[in-house]
Amino acid sequence: MKIAVCDDDSAAREHIVSLIIKEQIPDVEIVTFAGGKELLKSWEDFAIFFLDPEMKEVSGIDVARQIRQKQEESKSARSIIIFVTNHEKYVYDAFDVAAFQYLIKPVDEEKFSDVFRRAWKEVSAAEEQTKRYILVKKSGEQKRVYLKDIYYIESANKKVIIHTTAGTLESYGKMEELERMLDGVFYRCHRCYLVHMEKIASYNADTIRVANGDKLILARKKYAAFVRQYIRYAKDVGVVNV
């Protein structure tokens, strides 16, 4: 796991590094930056960013916006952003860039440990998710389709249509079997649809919009159960688009 600590206050920067080291997480690489400009100039993709919103030249807020823009353009996984600040007023900016948490200086060691452990759990879960796949039979061959690339699965007569980041795949299969196999990550929002929870962009009482812009029917009788499962998924995994 690669972690970036960016703060133009050297003492604050070193304090965060010392707190990370105390967590004794294996295989962690910490890279420090003395300002937002330095971080953006030597751009790397980190799993976790610690940013001070009040940095001079380029603020942590602007750095976070550019991080999110790059990840959106490259369609890469969202990093976890944690703001470390002297003022609570930046909490609303944290929402704007989907920050994971903000910590108030001087950072309390117990609070830091709780936030860092939850962040580490999310990164680990996201990495594990990228390895999962299903095998789809197509033209006599078994094709590996990674779950991270699937928006949703649609039933069409005796076939299933898998909508992915690379297009669609058709195969013979049963939605009931896929629903059992993908339970906890996908939700059967309608008899015709299995939606990937990570790919949900928004929803209302009767519609789910996925990240590729498609709109799926959400059966009204399933709305309450869907909301409960979606909130549970967001709490356990945290990798969601809303």
238, pLDDT greater than 70 = no
Give the separation between CA 4 and CA 195, rounded to whole angstroms. 33
The pLDDT, as a whole number, for residue 241 is 43
Tokens describing residue 54? 């009040």
**Mean pLDDT over each residue of the chain, to the nearest integer:** 88
Summarised one tens digit per residue, pLDDT across range 14-55 is 999 999 999 988 889 999 999 999 999 877 889 999 999 989
For residue 237, pLDDT over 60 is answered with no
For residues 194-215, give the mean pLDDT.
92
Dist. CA 235–CA 9, nearest whole Å: 33
Distance separating alpha carbons of residues 33 and 212, to the nearest angstrom: 35
Fill in the DSSP letter of residue 75.
Answer: T
Confidence of residue 77 (pLDDT cuts 50, 70, 90): confident
pLDDT confidence tier of residue 90, bands split at 50, 70 and 90: low
pTM for the structure as a whole: 0.62
Res. 108: pLDDT tops 90: yes
- Please compute the mean of the pLDDT values over residues 207-236 and round it to a whole number: 90
Residue 194 has pLDDT above 80, yes or no: yes
The percentage of the chain sitting over the pLDDT mark of 90, rounded to a whole number, equals 56
Per-residue pLDDT at 236: 61
* 123 contacts 237 by C-beta, under 8 angstroms: no
Instruction: Measure the CA–CA gap between 136 and 197, rounded to whole angstroms.
Output: 20
Task: Tell how strand 48-51 and strand 2-6 pair up.
Answer: parallel
The whole-number average pLDDT for the span 69-98 is 79
- So what's the pLDDT on residue 92? 65
Contacts 24+ apart (CB under 8 A), 75-79: 75/165, 76/45, 77/126, 77/130, 77/239, 78/239, 79/45, 79/46, 79/47, 79/48, 79/49
pLDDT tens-digit readout, 141-184: 888 898 989 999 999 888 999 999 989 999 888 899 999 989 88
Q: Sheet holding 207-210: strands in order across?
A: 200-203, 207-210, 215-217
Band (pLDDT 50/70/90 cuts) for residue 70 is confident
pLDDT at 240: 43
Of 210, 215, 236, residue with least CA distance to 129: 236
**Taking phi first (over 0 means left), then psi (-120 to 50 degrees means alpha), and beta for anything else, what does residue 75 get?**
left
Measured distance CA(68)–CA(110) in Å, rounded: 29
